[in-house]
Amino acid sequence: MFRNVLGKTFRFLGYTVQYGCIAHCAFEYLGGIVVCSGPSMEPTIQNSDIVFSENLSRHLYCIRKGDIVIVKSPNDPKSNICKRVIGLEGDKVCTSNPSDFLKSHSYVPKGHVWLEGDNLRNSTDSRCYGPVPYGLIRGRICFKVSLMLS
Amino acid sequence: MAQAQGFGRRYIKAFLKGFFVAIPVTVTFLDRVACVARVEGASMQPSLNPGGRQASDVVLLNHWSIRNYDVQRGDIVSLVSPRNPEQKIIKRVIALEGDIIKTIGYKKKYVKIPHGHIWVEGDHHGHSFDSNAFGPVSLGLLHARATHILWPPQRWQKLQSMLPPERKPLQREQE
């Protein structure tokens, strides 16, 4: 009786570990559903939109200019941010605010990317914390899941 | 004829079981728990690779201990290189966020480490591509902590988390 319960517990743990590992591999190397919050990517992505992010591009190093990416926050590694890639390494980017009279430019250093939100007026991005290392990129957003509510 | 069919079906079943069980579990273990890596270069001499190219050390990298980004000053860690994301570098943590340190050859003489960043240096100053070249690194680039040297057998040891006394921060962040 006790052995039966023990056997069932071990089998349950075994299945949990197995499905947990499959879930980790799927999210790490293929992709997953992500919920975005915040106004910095409006109108492309609204607050609490559900998007699908594919995580294969970052392993193959084929993130392009104009992609929307999910990145680990440079100042807080436990949170993620969602922005658009404006410049890759070597590109010339404008670092000044749109309201400034004198524009300043700089080049994105090697191994880094320049991120900006689509809602430029309400977005803390590379204009605030500088170029972001490529190694912090988690995945690339490929499409938005829109739910039809009747 | 029926026996051959039975063998074929068992083979397919064993193959699928292996594919969906062994591979994900192994990959998750190597990504999340621990893995092994060979150290190349002279930037961490004399702690790692004292023999140069003849005998490279093999170290045990522990991912699990840094899952909450909990590093201490003096730990030897591996991180994704900020200049080249395809490469991992192994260095010692010298300062955590909020510390003020004196740099060796950086563009600013005194640096206060920003929030969410750390300062890493190789033990072999002058032969090391570290924070003195690229500045503070984000904690998100942290890959693993090196805990033991596994090979060569005569160098089998636990790596000590030791901060060189001359590299202590000038001011620590008050907890």
CA distances from A52 to A44, A49, A118 (A): 14, 10, 18
| pLDDT for res A148 | 60
Partners of A18 on chain B (C-beta within 8 Å) are 20-21, 24-25
DSSP letter for B78, please.
E
- Name the one residue in this structure whose structure tokens are 């829109």: A146
* CA proximity to B146, closest of B79, B84, B98, B69: B79
The pLDDT tens digits of the residues spanning B54-97 come to 788 999 999 999 999 999 999 999 999 999 999 999 999 999 99
pLDDT at B129 over 80: yes
How many pairs of residues across A and B have Cβ atoms under 8 Å apart? 73
Predicted TM-score (pTM) of the model is 0.87
Per-residue confidence (pLDDT) for residue B1, from 0 to 100: 60
Answer CATH for B36-167 from 1.10.3720.10, 3.40.50.1100, 3.40.1160.10, 2.10.109.10 = 2.10.109.10
Nearest CA-CA distance, residue A22 and chain B, Å:
5
Residues of chain A with confidence (pLDDT) below 50 = none
Asked about B91 being catalytic, the answer comes back as yes
In this predicted structure, the answer to whether residue B3 has a pLDDT above a threshold of 80 is no
Tabulate helix, strand, coil % of chain B (nearest 5).
25, 30, 45
**A74 touches B at CB < 8 Å:** yes
CA-CA distance, A122 to A126, in Å (whole number)? 13
More confident site: B21 or B92: B92
Measuring CA to CA, which residue among A125, A73, A148, A49 is closest to residue B115?
A: A73
Each residue's pLDDT tens digit, B135-146 = 999 999 999 999
* A92 membership: H or E segment, kind and range: strand A92-94
Mean pLDDT score across all residues of chain B: 90
Contacts of B30 in chain A (CB under 8 A): none
- Crossing angle of helices A2-29 and B23-32, in 10° steps, is 70
B116 part of contact set with chain A, CB < 8 Å:
yes
Look at the block and give the residue holding tokens 């920003």.
B114
pLDDT score, position B102: 93
Pick from B26, B28, B79, B117 the residue to mutate for testing the A interface (most A CBs within 10 Å): B28
Inform me whether the pLDDT recorded for B6 exceeds 90: no
pLDDT value of residue B173: 72
